[in-house]
Amino acid sequence: MTSSDRQTLRGTALLNDPFLNRGTAFTTAERRALGLEGLLPPQVETLDRQAERVLAHLDAKPTDLERYIYLSALVDRNETLFYKVLMSDPARFVPIVYAPTLGEVCKSFSHLYRRPRGMYISLDMKGRIAEVLRNWPVPDVRFLCVTTGGRILGLGDIGANGMGIPIGKLQLYTACGAVPPHTTLPVQLDIGTTNAALRADPLYLGLRREPPPEAELDAFVEEFVAAVQEVFPACCIHFEDWKGTDAIRYLERYREKVLCYNDDIQGTASVTLAGLVTALRIKGEQLSDQNFLFLGAGSSALGTSDLLVTAMEAEGLTVAEARSRIIMMDVKGLVEPSRTDLTEAQRRYAHAAAPTRDLLETIRRVRPSVLIGVSTAGGAFTQPVVELMAEINARPIIFPLSIPRPECTAEQAYGWSDGRALYAAGIQFPQVLRGDMVFRPGQANNFYIFPGLGLAVYATRPRLITGAVIIEAAHALADQVSPSAQARGMLYPPQSQILEVEVTSACRLAEYLFENGMATVPRPEDIRAWIEGMCYSPEYGAIAPAEG
């Protein structure tokens, strides 16, 4: 339905439109003019009063999964009220509409399904993708988050059940970055699934087939990317949770051709770099002085490593010197040259060493100052591992980033390191008390990066997102951790201030894009005022009363 079509809605049709519906907030005059008399209780309420009722309902729910289901129903009937609630307390609601609750949602997405949200583009639409995309009612889509469901939050290939991720990601564009929600579009690219249990589930909503061979998939993705350029020419494609090898291949193929980025690769790399920059400020050291050990050698590890190499180059190292400081392990052991199963991207980090699958032995050999977990192996950073890191480092940097099961908890990291660890995880842990010390663990989560990046892209309309922009996003975030917060061991700004953080990051990124000739719009005199003027605010706007 177009904007002009919506202006003609009356009565129950208006109440059933989540973009225009305001429920009990319709005024007496609006009710009379728009055919709503008798369809609502007589009391006229403010948006704040409506939000109060929603918060009371949420407080009564027994689990975050139930809260997610309630909020999903809310956004389907009143989008403004939904965002009013989310933006009132991001620290509370981000973990509900995103990780870690979203992992539980995706496991049962087909069973929890209520009504469509976003678009499902499946293999049987080959040759017609542009035609199908035109069924979307909004012509000016600016952000399209697309997944195949091939690698979701450590759950593996869950096919069409992965649709919960694009939905949640784009809601954070708005809740954390104030990107107008009507400009966003979640997309499930349904290519089938390797998950036999899902294919056998009678309630599964996706294609019941194996994914196609690589050549066929490449042709399908090529048509999809071309169709997006045709139908939504100002759109940024946000690749999300694709199988690792596909994620790397498509980022390399399209990053210099169309406006796109991969959040699992570049977003994870950027937020990790931001946390490392802050941790090293606390230690008084440089990035190029560190040795890094990754547990996990997939797309997240490789993307983060590549960004670290670029950042260390800026500090004076050669590419070879920077790569030599990065060691990787995966489920098959140390990434080293004798392995025959390595991808081309992994071989860049395959350094001469004796094969081993022993993490402790590798730590003793390498003596890393930074230990990063992107393995999806919850609990892999055991007490001996953390104690050894603390033995060889006065302030070990430990980032267990796997979601939803990190390699160790905050309490474990602080306890096993005698409170000396500089810690951030992929999920948020509560503060930890040890004696008279209070530790505030950070959350190295991509929502610190992509909403601000999205707001900057929305405002400046660049043609590409370069690696330098991703590094700038990391520094824009790190520079917002004050010295007093660093003194308390904090590596990221408080989540309660996330909207302010993202707007500040967006302003800095916009400045960078203008200075480097990447923006395609005129530069304003006051960038912050200009960007703040574009920010979405969850308020009820005017509705033109229909005639008659």
3-60 pLDDT tens trace:
555 568 999 999 999 999 999 999 999 999 999 999 999 999 999 999 999 999 999 9
pLDDT reported for residue 91: 87
* pLDDT over threshold 80, residue 153: no
Q: Average pLDDT, stretch 348-365? A: 96
Q: Is 241 annotated to bind ligand?
A: yes
Average pLDDT value for residue range 529-543: 93
**Which residue(s) pair with 432 in the sheet?**
439
Res 134: pLDDT = 98
Taking the C-alpha atoms of residue 377 and residue 288, their distance in angstroms, rounded to an integer, is 28
Residue carrying structure tokens 């194996």: 210
With cut-offs at 50, 70 and 90, classify the pLDDT of residue 403: confident
Structure tokens at 121: 């583009």
pLDDT of residue 63: 97
For residues 225-241, average pLDDT: 97
* CA–CA separation, 314 and 42 (whole Å): 65
Catalytic residue chosen out of the listed positions 68, 83, 84, 169: 169
Has 414 been annotated as catalytic? Answer: no
Distance of CA 178 to the CA centre of its chain: 15
Taking the C-alpha atoms of residue 374 and residue 534, their distance in angstroms, rounded to an integer, is 36
The catalytic position among 98, 204, 250, 414 is: 98
DSSP label at 264?
I
Helical (H) or strand (E) element with 355:
none
CATH architecture under which domain 266-547 falls = 3-Layer(aba) Sandwich (3.40)
Measured CA to CA, the distance from residue 399 to residue 278 in angstroms comes to 13
**Residue intervals in the chain for CATH 3.40.50.720:** 266-547
Task: Provide CATH 3.40.50.10380 ranges for the chain.
Answer: 94-103+119-262
The tokens for 284 are 């008084």
Per-chain mean pLDDT for the chain: 94
For residue 548, what pLDDT band results from cuts at 50, 70 and 90? very low
> What is the separation, in whole angstroms, between the first and last Cα of the chain?
21
- Write out the H or E segment, with its range, that includes residue 216: helix 214-231
Q: Can you tell me the distance from the alpha carbon of 221 to that of 293, in angstroms, rounded to the nearest whole number? A: 34
Distance CA 130, CA 477 (A): 37
pLDDT score for 545: 53
Instruction: Give the mean model confidence (pLDDT) for residues 320-336.
Output: 97
Alpha helices, H only, 255-329: 268-283, 299-314, 319-324
Q: What CA–CA distance (Å, rounded) separates 512 from 469? A: 8
Residue 543 has pLDDT above 80, yes or no: no
264 annotated ligand binder: yes
pLDDT value for 547: 45
- Dump pLDDT digits (tens) for 490-514: 999 998 899 999 999 999 999 999 9
pTM for the structure as a whole: 0.93
Q: What integer is the mean pLDDT of 326-332?
A: 96
Peptide bond into 538 cis (omega under 30): no
Q: Taking Cα atoms as reference points, which of 416, 424, 406 lies closest to residue 385?
A: 416
Q: Judge whether 305 and 328 are in contact, CB under 8 Å.
A: yes
Q: Is the confidence at residue 395, as pLDDT, over 80?
A: yes
In whole angstroms, give the CA distance from residue 9 to residue 20: 9
Q: Which residue has the tokens 């990065």?
A: 326
CA nearest to 24, candidates 13, 40, 48: 40
Cβ atoms of 244 and 298 within 8 Å: the answer is yes
Average pLDDT over residues 370-398: 96
Q: Does domain 94-103+119-262 bear CATH number 3.40.50.10380? A: yes
Close Cβ partners of 257 (under 8 Å, ≥ 6 residues apart) = none
Tell me what pLDDT residue 546 has: 46
Q: Measuring CA to CA, which residue among 538, 475, 540 is closest to residue 176?
A: 538
What is the chain's Cα-based Rg?
Answer: 24
Categorize the per-residue pLDDT at 369 as very low, low, confident or very high, splitting at 50, 70 and 90: very high
Per-residue pLDDT of 513-535, as tens digits, reads: 999 999 999 999 999 999 999 99
In this structure, the number of other CB atoms found within 10 A of the CB of residue 18 comes to: 16
Q: In what order do the strands lie in the sheet with 119-122?
A: 119-122, 184-190, 143-147, 236-239, 260-262
Contact 243, 157 (CB under 8 A): yes
Query: Does residue 169 carry a catalytic annotation?
Result: yes
Q: Is the pLDDT of residue 243 over 60?
A: yes
Q: Which two tokens stand for residue 349?
A: 């980090």
Rounded CA-CA distance 125/130 in Å is 10
CB-based contact 360:380 (threshold 8 Å):
no
| Look-up of token digits 């922009």 | 469
- The pLDDT of residue 377: 86
Note the pLDDT of residue 4: 52
Mean pLDDT, range 123-133, rounded to an integer: 98
Q: Tell whether residue 445 is among the known ligand binding residues.
A: yes
